[in-house]
Each structure stands twice: as structure tokens, then as C-alpha cells.
Amino acid sequence: MADQRAQGSMGKQAYEARRAAKAGVSLDKWLTQKDDQKIVVAAAARPNPLLVQIKAGWRRLMDRAHRPL
């Protein structure tokens, strides 16, 4: 993963180095924290499978309730 980060443009590397210096951490630690944050955000964006099942069940019940007798 470190190799992928090193392939960025020089401007991007300089930008990330400034951000790391401002945060008071090393560039490597800054990029690791940034990658970890991306993983956390991606995990939070995934829907909960149990909640999806509950919504689907509720939707089926409501569809049946709206059908004429």
C-alpha cells in the first residue's frame, strides 16, 4: 500500500506532507490514518443486512395490506 501512495504526483505528496506536519505526525503515519479513516467511512456506508431484511418484510406486509379483499 505504501508503494501506491508513493506514486502520487509531487504536488500531492507535498500537500500531504504539509497536512501531516500541521497535524504533528509523520507523513507515513498521516497516510496510514487517512487510509484507516477511508475504511471506517466505507464500512459505515454499507447498509446493515438485518435492517434491509426488516424493511423488505415491512414492505411486503404493507403491499398485502393495500390489496383489495
pLDDT digits (tens, 9 = 90+) for 11-64: 999 999 999 999 999 999 999 999 999 999 988 888 888 888 888 889 998 998
Dihedral angle at the C-alpha atoms of 34, 7, 26, 45, nearest 10 degrees? 0
0.75 surpassed by pTM: no
Contacts of 16 (CB under 8 A, 6+ apart): 8, 27, 30, 31, 34
Domain ranges of the chain: 2-65
How crowded is residue 55: how many other Cβ atoms within 10 Å of its Cβ?
11
